Amino acid sequence: MKKKKKLQRVALLETLLVSMLLGGVVVVVLVWAAKSEDSQLAASIRQLIGIPAPEPAVVVAPQPAPTPQVVIEEAPPPADEPEPFIAPEPEPIPQITFAEVAAQKHLWPRQLTLKLSVQVLIRYNGKDYGYMEFPRGRTILVDGVLANGEIFCQIDGNYLSLSVYETDFYGWFKATHGERYQIQPVVVDFGSRATAPYKLGTEKGDAAFWAEMRIWCQQNYDSVSLSIEEDTLVFKWLPKEDAPIDFPSEAREVARNYLLKRAKYGGRENYAACEIRHPTTGEVLGASAIFIPRL
């Protein structure tokens, strides 16, 4: 009896194992049929049992590895550097004309130097009186500066009227006043001889000269009493005002204008002396002479 029960249990166990095996096979087949996409048998099993066909697998293309970004580090800002020094442009030196210099005695030199040798025949009233010679480099004492570029000066007591270009005036001015002023060159006209239509020695020329000379004397001295003597000019004049007068300086001015106006009408004189006399007593109030080498 016991043996029979044992056999029954073994048979039952075998049946159970077989059933489990068959069930496993069925499950595997069903799972395969549910997932298989390219098998006709799996499709027939799915159709027989009613299992829905599997959705097509979505193939995801592999993504390329991301390119590493190169991070460029910005250079740290430079330390504060001092701005480069820019020197300011120097202010232009003020311009000044020769006429403005002539009007301001504090800008005159006390002495200058001759740039050229001067050796000229002295001529007055149609006569020659020998030569006057001054070597180059000679020191001259300045007596006056005129706006037209003339320099009145003394050499050994002789008064001369020189062109500014015959002296070292411009070099002296730059060295003395160059930091304050830049002087403009003056135009000196040396070609002013014989510019009148009439010449001395003719009736019209002599009349025109004396008319011009008398007009100048009247305008500047309120007197026309000027005469020519053998070796000097005589100008009778007495100022109406009581102010002190530098008669020698006035005598040089009369002699200078006499020479310049004579040259305009063709005169050859380059030297003249003048005496200023009292118009009533004839007393000599002052006398001087001037030499203009360029005439």
pLDDT in tens, 14-73: 777 767 777 676 666 666 666 666 666 666 666 667 666 666 655 555 666 666 666 666
* 225-232, long-range: CB < 8 A, 24+ apart: 225/279, 226/254, 226/258, 228/125, 230/125, 231/124, 231/125, 231/273, 232/272, 232/273, 232/274, 232/275, 232/287
- The predicted-structure confidence for 188-238, as pLDDT tens digits, reads as follows 765 556 577 889 989 999 999 999 999 999 999 998 999 998 889 999 998
**Interatomic CA distance for residues 104 and 109, integer angstroms:** 11
- 231 and 170, same structural domain? no
Contacts of 247 (CB under 8 A, 6+ apart): 276, 285, 286, 287
Contact criterion met (CB below 8 Å) for 162 and 293 = yes
**What's the whole-number average pLDDT of the chain?**
82
What is the phi-psi region of residue 261: left when phi exceeds 0, alpha when psi lies from -120 to 50, beta otherwise?
alpha
Radius of gyration of the chain (CA): 63
> Which residues pair with residue 272 across a beta bridge?
290
**Interatomic CA distance for residues 198 and 203, integer angstroms:** 9
127 domain residue, yes or no? no
- 242 and 177, same structural domain? no
Give me the percent of the chain exceeding a pLDDT of 70.
Answer: 72
- 258 and 230, same structural domain? yes
> What's the confidence (pLDDT) of residue 219?
94
Based on the structure, what is the number of domains in the chain? 3
pLDDT above 60 (res 263): yes
Contacts of 57 (CB under 8 A, 6+ apart): 37
**Interatomic CA distance for residues 236 and 246, integer angstroms:** 15
**Interatomic CA distance for residues 295 and 270, integer angstroms:** 5
**Interatomic CA distance for residues 152 and 289, integer angstroms:** 12
In 186-292, alpha helices (H): 203-221, 247-264
> What's the confidence (pLDDT) of residue 190?
55
192 domain residue, yes or no? no
DSSP single-letter state for residue 167: B
- 102 and 179, same structural domain? yes
168 domain residue, yes or no? yes
Total residues found in the chain within this entry? 295
**Interatomic CA distance for residues 162 and 245, integer angstroms:** 25
Backbone angles phi, psi at 49, to 5 degrees: -85, -30
Contact criterion met (CB below 8 Å) for 232 and 274 = yes
pLDDT above 70 (res 163): yes
- 142 and 173, same structural domain? yes
189 domain residue, yes or no? no
pLDDT above 80 (res 152): yes
- 177 and 104, same structural domain? yes
69 domain residue, yes or no? no
Q: Two tokens at 45?
A: 């099993």
> What's the confidence (pLDDT) of residue 25?
67
- The predicted-structure confidence for 81-99, as pLDDT tens digits, reads as follows 677 777 777 778 889 999 9
- 171 and 115, same structural domain? yes
Domain that holds residue 281: 203-291
- 224 and 171, same structural domain? no
Q: Name the more confident of 61 and 185.
A: 185
88 domain residue, yes or no? no
- What torsion do the CA atoms of 244, 226, 274, 215 make, to the nearest 10 degrees? 70
80 domain residue, yes or no? no
In the sheet where 271-277 sits, what is the strand order? 111-113, 139-145, 150-155, 158-163, 284-291, 271-277, 233-236, 226-228
65 domain residue, yes or no? no
